[in-house]
Amino acid sequence: MERIYGSEIGKHAGERVRLAGWVHNVRALGKINFLTLRDASGIVQVVMTRAELAQLDGALPESVIEVEGTVVAEPQAPGGFEVHNPAITVLNRVSEPLPFPINKPDLDVHIDTFLNSATVGLRHPKKRAILRLSSGVMGGFRRYLDQHGFVEIASPKIVESATESGANVFQIDYFGRPAYLAQSPQFYKQMMVGVFERVYEVGPVFRAEPHSTVRHVNEYVSLDVEFGFIRDHFDVMALLTRLIRAMLDHLKADYAGELDMLGAQMPLAPAIFPHIYFPEALQLIYERHGEDSRQEPDLSPQHERWLGEWASAERQSDFLFVTGYPMVKRPFYTHPNPIDPRYANGFDLLFRGTELVTGGQRLHQYEDYLEALRSRGVVDVKPFEGYLQAFRYGMPPHGGFAIGLERFVMQLIGASNLRETTLFPRDLNRLSP
Amino acid sequence: MERIYGSEIGKHAGERVRLAGWVHNVRALGKINFLTLRDASGIVQVVMTRAELAQLDGALPESVIEVEGTVVAEPQAPGGFEVHNPAITVLNRVSEPLPFPINKPDLDVHIDTFLNSATVGLRHPKKRAILRLSSGVMGGFRRYLDQHGFVEIASPKIVESATESGANVFQIDYFGRPAYLAQSPQFYKQMMVGVFERVYEVGPVFRAEPHSTVRHVNEYVSLDVEFGFIRDHFDVMALLTRLIRAMLDHLKADYAGELDMLGAQMPLAPAIFPHIYFPEALQLIYERHGEDSRQEPDLSPQHERWLGEWASAERQSDFLFVTGYPMVKRPFYTHPNPIDPRYANGFDLLFRGTELVTGGQRLHQYEDYLEALRSRGVVDVKPFEGYLQAFRYGMPPHGGFAIGLERFVMQLIGASNLRETTLFPRDLNRLSP
């Protein structure tokens, strides 16, 4: 008999079926006993007599079992069907209790305890739902871009120079000489605009930032886009807006169960996301909250939260573009605003008051790169040679952005710690499992 | 006027259109002159008078231009249409010659010269076709697995211990303590079988192997699959066969132009790929080629080529499974053949005589892992703790495999060097661009 998933038993009412999965929970009441079996599709209820229960022979939760039984309609059961008269085979016995129970509706455990045993903890239905959503975010991202002429690339993660920002990179021993882990595919995706015009990448990025906050980890998944023949950063923002809306539609269509289980509120995402110019954002904060940061070159997390509240209340949007950050705070490849070169043709996209995306227009003239590097004190451009070559040989006006995958899921479900949305997070103190 | 792609001009015969892209080639004949414009969609021909040619003002190939012109049907032109009466704007001028020409039908340049200027060289139409195929291989892989209940994961690339094989890993300085680059997602994908049953990952892997061959690089993209509730490795081989056939169908459907441009022969891929047991493979080689390697624990590249020839000629298949490699040559998590434990319940899949995939059934009992580690001389299992936890708390029989992306494309198009199929390869001597 072929194994079927628990979600399929409704199609087999009255028949014998074969199921397989994990012992999620056992309620031994005496004459009638209940076992919930968890498989890839979800949870199914098995009803056992005392003798049938004995087949488990003391196997503890998370034991792997096969169950052959008869499907019976039962309105009270999850899904409307349950399994009776089971013949149970234990495939892999668990004989010690779990580090913490994973068969309660909520995982009530400290984040560190959880992460120490993430291999087991991730089996909890809500944790599985978060990881599924995460895969859905990647899937929706790729789907939209595949449909719009973007080519997927896989850029190298080992790079020769710590050139992108000059700091916060991990060093590698590369056959006896130093190399570094790419802190983003920025250089490569720009170079590839020269090849394909429109490219994207889903891949790991590495940031050796020696601080520990609830919204940072040192390795995460970056959803990167770069494309050519733009007028300015507003073309980039327009594409990003359509992309985010398509990603949200994808989640609504294919991940409704996960969103529901996690109590996620779908965000307000109007057809045009509001935008505010950086100096105006600081002015707004001053007027609404009395904090005068109008001389600051960047936004603090509190500023971002205030702006998020404003966008939600006044613009009916959980997304807000902040454009025109001061050039001093942006990387050297940033294209300045031609009208006021102190400010960048770039943006951050805030999602519910937290930075989700950074992007903008890039320089595209070779001479502008030389000047930008010079003005930032870079004397030797040799480490940039491979990158600069693309601009010497014809690059169109272009721009792009990077979305943090875990940040997206965190803000979507309202998690309080980015580590709740990562498979096995890496931070200052954690390298395992 | 909105820009259109060159591939779309047939829909605008007789109209003025706006195009943008790179100067691919200029043939200045005098009264009539030809410019080929390259954009994301391909190549389009622009016909110019002497005066119209002057608008280029000496801009060299790879200059980025905009062209407004009238679409005219012309059976001789590529695609059956060309552009007349162009108004040309140079968006980004190239004023120095390229390191090598990229507008000939073939790139006639040494691989090292090419790789030194890959940023430009990858713009060659055949190189673009290879990279597009590569993205098509990733796309076909994901599509099949998405349709068959697999969940995409993104496992960490920075790991605490060099545990998987104990050698050939790159060391990182992780905030002052040693860490390593993951040589595969093997441990993590197995752990995630405990969570989702069926998982896959597309991601970079890092191998610090200090040798340089035409079929190895030190960073490549691995297409990884792992799933539970199998009987043995033949279930894994059956899934892999269906997956490969679906990937080939995807390429045939969506990448016919690229396959054609590269002269790729689609492989013989029967519904059931032939398989041969390792000892029988060596016996066959002995009988057909007189080389007695029947005591060897592994296959040499020449052995693989001979076996590939045999499968193609005698079994009408460009794919051949070799099963039952000696356990001594397989990693500790390999499940032995229960009938003859000297040999593994595992396989390599040869594609046209080169190893493309390694896979098999894994151990799933905690005690078996302890014994396997012990028998290989591992005294301290602490570095394996996070991994082993999954097996302590219930793992089903499971298995999986890893496909080398670049290897797949190399064998598909008959490239002579793996570096021809990689964006920016990393090897013993090359770290840039």
Give one DSSP letter per residue of A374-419, joined into a string: HHTT----GGGHHHHHHHHT---SEEEEEEEHHHHHHHHHT-S-GG
**Nearest C-alpha in A relative to B365:** A92
More confident residue, A163 or B329: B329
Partner-chain contact A426 B156, CB within 8 Å: yes
| pLDDT at position B302 | 97
Partner-chain contact B3 A389, CB within 8 Å: no
Is the minimum CB–CB distance between B276 and chain A shorter than 8 Å? no
Give the CA angle between residues B298, B303, B305 to the nearest 5°.
Answer: 135
Partner-chain contact A191 B117, CB within 8 Å: no
DSSP string across B275-319:
EEEHHHHHHHHHHHH----TT-SS--HHHHHHHHHHHHHHHS-SE
Partner-chain contact B431 A160, CB within 8 Å: yes
Q: Mean pLDDT throughout A91-115?
A: 94
d(CA B370, CA B379): 10
Nearest-CA neighbor of B172 among B163, B185, B162? Answer: B162
Dihedral-angle region of residue B70 (phi above 0 means left; psi in -120 to 50 means alpha; beta otherwise): beta
Partner-chain contact A64 B170, CB within 8 Å: no
Amino acid letter, residue B138: M
A243 within 8 A of A144, measured Cβ to Cβ: yes
Contact partners, residue B259, CB within 8 Å, separation at least 6: B133, B251, B252, B266
Partner-chain contact B170 A174, CB within 8 Å: yes
Instruction: At B99, list the tokens.
Output: 């390191």
Contact partners, residue B387, CB within 8 Å, separation at least 6: A119, A433, B163, B187, B190, B191
What phi, psi does A19 have (nearest 5°)?
-115, 160
Collapsed DSSP state (helix, strand, coil) of residue B105: coil
Partner-chain contact B40 A196, CB within 8 Å: yes
d(CA B61, CA B36): 10
Partner-chain contact A386 B138, CB within 8 Å: no
Residues in B closer than 8 angstroms to A389, CB to CB, are 117, 119-120, 433
Instruction: At B220, list the tokens.
Output: 């490549």
User: What is the distance in angstroms between the Cα of A100 and the nearest Cα belonging to chain B?
Assistant: 12
Residues in A closer than 8 angstroms to B179, CB to CB, are 431
Collapsed DSSP state (helix, strand, coil) of residue B135: helix
The neighbour count for residue A413, using CB atoms within 10 Å, is 20
A26 within 8 A of A10, measured Cβ to Cβ: no
| pLDDT at position A167 | 63
Residues in B closer than 8 angstroms to A428, CB to CB, are 175
Is the minimum CB–CB distance between B9 and chain A shorter than 8 Å? no
| pLDDT at position B166 | 55
Measured over the CA atoms of residue A129, residue A130, residue A136 and residue A140, the dihedral's sign is: positive
| pLDDT at position A212 | 84
Is the minimum CB–CB distance between B390 and chain A shorter than 8 Å? yes
Spans of chain B below 70 pLDDT: 164-167
Amino acid letter, residue B94: V
**Nearest C-alpha in A relative to B433:** A386
| pLDDT at position B167 | 63
Residues in B closer than 8 angstroms to A135, CB to CB, are 151-153
Contact partners, residue B22, CB within 8 Å, separation at least 6: A394, B37, B38, B39, B61, B62, B63, B64, B65, B123
Residues 24-63 of B with CB under 8 A from A: 39-40, 62-63
Give the H/E segment covering residue A351.
strand A346-351
**Residue for token digits 């290897």?**
B407
Residues 141-200 of B with CB under 8 A from A: 142, 146, 149, 151-161, 170-175, 179, 181, 188, 191-192, 194-198
Q: Name the residue among A20, A98, A432 with its Cβ closest to that of B160.
A: A432
Contact partners, residue B291, CB within 8 Å, separation at least 6: B285
Instruction: At A372, list the tokens.
Output: 């930008």
Is the minimum CB–CB distance between A218 and chain B shorter than 8 Å? yes
Q: What's A161's DSSP letter?
A: -
Asked if the model's pLDDT at residue A187 lies above 60, the reply is yes
Asked if the model's pLDDT at residue A163 lies above 80, the reply is no
For chain B, residues classed under CATH 3.30.930.10 are 125-421
Secondary structure of B318-368 in HEC code, one letter for each residue: CEEEEECCEHHHCCCCECECCCCCCEECEEEEEECCEEEEEEEEECCCHHH
d(CA B42, CA B60): 19
A83 within 8 A of A67, measured Cβ to Cβ: yes
Asked if the model's pLDDT at residue A357 lies above 90, the reply is yes
Residues in A closer than 8 angstroms to B188, CB to CB, are 423-424
B347 within 8 A of B321, measured Cβ to Cβ: yes
Q: What's A169's DSSP letter?
A: -
The neighbour count for residue B343, using CB atoms within 10 Å, is 20
Residues in A closer than 8 angstroms to B151, CB to CB, are 131-132, 135
A276 within 8 A of A158, measured Cβ to Cβ: no
Nearest-CA neighbor of A303 among A354, A358, A356? Answer: A354
Nearest-CA neighbor of B276 among B240, B245, B305, B315? Answer: B315
What is the fold, at CATH topology level, of the domain defined by B125-421? BirA Bifunctional Protein; domain 2 (3.30.930)
Q: Is the ipTM of this complex over 0.85?
A: yes
Q: Mean pLDDT throughout A377-404?
A: 94
Q: Name the residue among B202, B364, B425 with its Cβ closest to that of A92.
A: B364
d(CA B26, CA B315): 50
Residues in A closer than 8 angstroms to B211, CB to CB, are none
| B125-147 helix and B405-413 helix, angle to the nearest 10 degrees | 120
**Residue for token digits 């045939």?**
B252
d(CA A97, CA A245): 44
Contact partners, residue A380, CB within 8 Å, separation at least 6: none
Residues 241-260 of A with CB under 8 A from B: none
Asked if the model's pLDDT at residue A417 lies above 90, the reply is yes
Q: Is the CATH number 2.40.50.140 carried by domain A6-92?
A: yes
Amino acid letter, residue B87: A
Contact partners, residue B54, CB within 8 Å, separation at least 6: none
Partner-chain contact A92 B396, CB within 8 Å: yes
Asked if the model's pLDDT at residue A125 lies above 80, the reply is yes
B350 within 8 A of B308, measured Cβ to Cβ: yes
Residues in B closer than 8 angstroms to A395, CB to CB, are 64, 92
Instruction: At A141, list the tokens.
Output: 């991202």
Give the H/E segment covering residue B224.
strand B219-228
Bridge partners (DSSP) listed for residue B174: B177
Residues of chain A with pLDDT > 90, as a percent, come to: 93
| pLDDT at position A78 | 87
Partner-chain contact B152 A160, CB within 8 Å: no
Dihedral-angle region of residue A320 (phi above 0 means left; psi in -120 to 50 means alpha; beta otherwise): beta
Residues 112-141 of A with CB under 8 A from B: 117-120, 122-123, 127-128, 131-132, 134-135, 138-139
| pLDDT at position B212 | 84
Residues in A closer than 8 angstroms to B172, CB to CB, are 170-173, 181
Residues in A closer than 8 angstroms to B395, CB to CB, are 64, 92
User: What is the distance in angstroms between the Cα of A303 and the nearest Cα belonging to chain B?
Assistant: 30
Is the minimum CB–CB distance between B338 and chain A shorter than 8 Å? no
Partner-chain contact A151 B132, CB within 8 Å: yes
Residues 304-323 of A with CB under 8 A from B: none
